[in-house]
Structure 1
């Protein structure tokens, strides 16, 4: 599902005249008019709103009034402001299923989204204590480490760090770069099924780098999962820590996995 161009998507809903009666702030009326258009589907997800100047002319108000209305819409997560690009209606949020068989690509394709990702950093690293404990390793034991930025339809969804026991997965990164899939890389090592042993879900503020990578405001929290995957014999094979853009993804835990 690819986003349409700015020209195709620029919002152009009909705007009702504003009331100048006392007690009805103009910014609130602008907010309500735009919010109604967005919620009612008159403005499509991903559409770019007109500029502040254009909105001010359309509503017959000053740009300060428009800025206040847009700030309220952004706070309500109806729009997002991208510096240097403009203001856009939020796309539909992705329901990311957290289950015994959580798979990133499958999660997205079930919702007609196209998954992709890039490796930001990778290498061999000594396991810090939380990772070693989760993987059943000694503190400082060698692991294969990878940090990835994942996308859905070209939009950033999460930044994830993955740790794998080196003694079991020597050469993991070379195979991953060929197959571009953790599941497919596991298959190379003879692991054809794996499950989620545990998932811890928390929220925190993003680092400046995370906010930039995820293209989200630095004052908006990210959703964080810390997960352990195991093979068919119950042996830990992966520890992952993932920061999700909370404006793009909502985590869903099914009743069978509670």
Structure 2
């Protein structure tokens, strides 16, 4: 029998969905590749079948399981992708060979004044102009990440326009004369995804997102990008690359 908290502030179906997700990750159902029936799960968690049905529906929306009418609930065949984080972290290169297709879309761009946090990360004065971009990356038509990035607005005033044409951060930086850049710090944490991340990554309320807060700089040390990237925790693993020298990881 599994344990669920009835006065935790987290809905029972969400707790059950999270526990089923963990059980799947641990290989508990690998012998059949399908979940027990609703009645068995209701008994396991001491809840009614409607609550179990809600939990399964949320997992199906996230692509963790698929429900086949009259047959049962099957575990989706996909495995987490592995994304290495090292001195030269590049999204497309890091996922190369793991997916059939990889694409990104620019969801939002604007010029704004730097907050104290953004200014410190980019070594700018507070209130300096910065370009803010929001991008969503997908693999095989499944959204993997939502990235919010900031760039020096004085140095890169038309960054968004160039990105719309070249569709690559690396390519845009090269167009500004920056041939190489490196990761100088990465901080990783886990959070319940906020509403916009839920929408962009097609997650259910209460889903967990892995967040990386990162700073990239030219090889000479001048900072070029500060980013907060949210990854769907069920779809990707972040691997720290210890073979390549790096700082702040």
Q: TM-score range, shorter-chain basis?
A: 0.7 to 0.9
Counterpart of 1:210 in 2: which secondary structure?
Answer: helix
**Residues of 2 paired with 1:120 and 1:213: CA distance?**
9
Matched, 1:227 2:214: yes
* Aligned with residue 167 of structure 1, among 154, 159, 166: 154
Counterparts of 2:106 and 2:100, CA distance in 1 = 20
Instruction: Work out whether 1:249 is the aligned partner of 2:236.
Output: yes
Q: Are the counterparts in 2 of residues 80 and 90 from structure 1 also a CA contact under 8 Å? A: no
> Judging changes above 3 Å, is the alpha-carbon distance between structure 1 residues 113 and 129 closer, same or farther for their aligned structure 2 residues?
farther
What are the residue-to-residue correspondences of 1:19-98 with 2, within 5 Å? 39-40=30-31, 63-65=38-40, 80-82=59-61, 86-87=66-67, 89=76, 91-98=78-85
User: What number of residue pairs does the alignment pair up?
Assistant: 205
CA contact (8 A) 1:95 1:252 kept: yes
CA contact (8 A) 1:38 1:89 kept: no
Using the alignment, how far apart are the partners of 1:175 and 1:126 within structure 2?
A: 20
Instruction: Specify which structure has the bigger relative contact order, considering alpha-carbon pairs within 8 angstroms and separated by 6 or more residues.
Output: 2
Where does structure 1 lack aligned partners over 5 or more consecutive residues?
Answer: 1-31, 44-48, 50-54
Give the conservation status (yes or no) of the 8 Å contact 1:163–1:239: yes
Q: What is the RMSD of the two structures over their aligned residues, measured on CA atoms?
A: 3.2
One of 132, 139, 143 as aligned partner of 2:130: 143
How far apart are residue 90 of structure 1 and its match?
A: 5.2
- CA-to-aligned-CA distance 1:133-159 (integer Å, 9 cap, x gap): 010111111011100111111101111
Which ranges of structure 2 fall in alignment gaps of 5 or more residues? Answer: 1-22, 68-74
- Please give the TM-score of this superposition, normalised by the length of structure 1: 0.70
What's the CA shift string for 1:50-104, capped at 9, x where partnerless? xxxxx9xxx9x7x5446678988x99x9x93218x95451511011101111101
- Rg bigger for which structure? 1
Shift of the alpha carbon at 1:218?
Answer: 2.0
- For 1:216, the equivalent position in structure 2 comes to 203
